[in-house]
Amino acid sequence: MLKKITTVAGVVLLSALTACGSGGGGGTASSGSGTITMGFAQVGAESGWRTANTKSIQDEAKAAGIELKFSDAQQKQENQIKAIRSYIQQKVSVIAFSPVVETGWDTVLLEAKRANIPVILTDRSIDSDDTSLYKTFLGSDFVEEGRRAGDWLVANASGPTNVVELQGTTGAAPAIDRKKGFEEKIASKPDIKVVASQTGDFTRSGGKQVMEAFLKSQPKIDVVYAHNDDMGLGAIEAIKAAGKVPGKDIKIITVDAVKDGMQALANGEINFIVECNPLLGKQLMELAKKVVAGEEVPNRVVTEEGTFTQEQAKAALPQRQY
Ligand code: AHR
């Protein structure tokens, strides 16, 4: 109890100090009660992963006693920028967001910095030379995820292998990095070729539509590399509609490991999944409390993740939360 009171008092004191401070961040708890207010600008609701991520953030904010102001940008950068500006106006204690795309954030983040509101990047990072614009970045190593997908293919491909790639949202960190990591690994096997690569915007319908086009334009497809489960699931529908057997006639590698993807892997329709953990809420709230209290936090917090084969998916499915 004593510890709790000390912490709250510390936050209030810090707010008073930073309100007239240098603009270097540190929090401006705004509710008047000492409660931390977080403005969270979410990407959208494009995938099963995103739904699980949103739930984790909402649940953990509640559990941590953090007042959450939540917005859904419907995968549009301009909506996220608007949401961030509105959080600045509302003088929230901390802003957290998962950037739809990597570039174009400096102006709005500078506004947050000048308003002395610390920013936490979660899930996706930004491409900016100014690392003072945010306190920390919590999320996966997307390049490593791409490498894991590439490693599996290098180990499992035999003979000439034509790959079609379903990319995530154009300009988004996971799309750029998962492509990069995958290409890095398959470069060691000249027999493996990416014959077509296009964005499916991380959605099931996008994956289906692009796969339908690939099936018409490509004479030989051996493997689909989808940057997330949802696009892989869309590709499965397109492959079946074309009279082929997903997982056998055309092998499928995806990223995420959400329940629907894991079920398809267990059924043999997907062949390998690289995990991307959406349950970032608890760590995010812990980091938020620290940055608002003016404590030092690491500038990068990497999420721990694994990979799944069919057998591993069957074993993990009964306990899968999302
Ligand atoms: O940024 C994480 C990615 O975004 C997930 O892999 C994907 O499913 C989501 O839409």
Query: What does the DSSP assignment read for 107-150?
Result: HHHHHHHHTT--EEEESS----S-GGG-SEEEE--HHHHHHHHH
pLDDT > 70? residue 21: no
What is the CATH code of the structural domain delimited by 18-140+278-297?
3.40.50.2300
For 218-263, how does the pLDDT look when each residue is reduced to its tens digit (9 = 90+)?
999 999 999 999 999 999 999 999 999 999 999 999 999 999 999 9
What distances in angstroms separate CA 258 from CA 48, 196, 322, one per listed residue?
6, 25, 6
Higher pLDDT, 83 or 8: 83
Cα distance between residue 42 and residue 85, in whole Å: 14
* 32 — pLDDT class (breaks 50, 70, 90): low
For 267-315, the pLDDT digits (tens) are: 999 999 999 999 999 999 999 999 999 999 999 999 999 999 999 999 9
What integer is the mean pLDDT of 155-180? 98
Task: Give whole-number Cα distances, 139 to 5, 29, 97, 187, 300, in Å.
Answer: 31, 25, 11, 26, 8
Classify 268 as helix, strand or coil: coil
Could you report how far apart the first and last alpha carbons of the chain are, in Å?
34
> By the 8 A CB rule, do 275 and 228 touch?
no
Residue 100 to residue 44: CA distance in whole angstroms: 9
Q: 96 - beta bridge partners?
A: 40, 120
> Domain residues of the chain, as ranges?
18-140+278-297, 142-275
Please name the residue whose Cα sits nearest to atom 3 of ligand 1: 174
Our mutation pick for probing the ligand 1 site, out of 228, 229, 262, counting the most ligand atoms within 8 A of Cβ, is 228
228 Cβ below 6 A of ligand 1: yes
User: Does CATH place domain 142-275 in 3.40.50.2300?
Assistant: yes
For 207-267, the DSSP string reads: HHHHHHHHHHH-S---EEEESSHHHHHHHHHHHHHTT--BTTTBEEEEEE--HHHHHHHHT
Please check whether the two domains, 18-140+278-297 and 142-275, share a CATH topology: yes
Secondary element (H or E) of residue 102: none
pTM reported for the whole predicted model: 0.90
Ligand 1 atom at minimum distance from 98 CA? 1
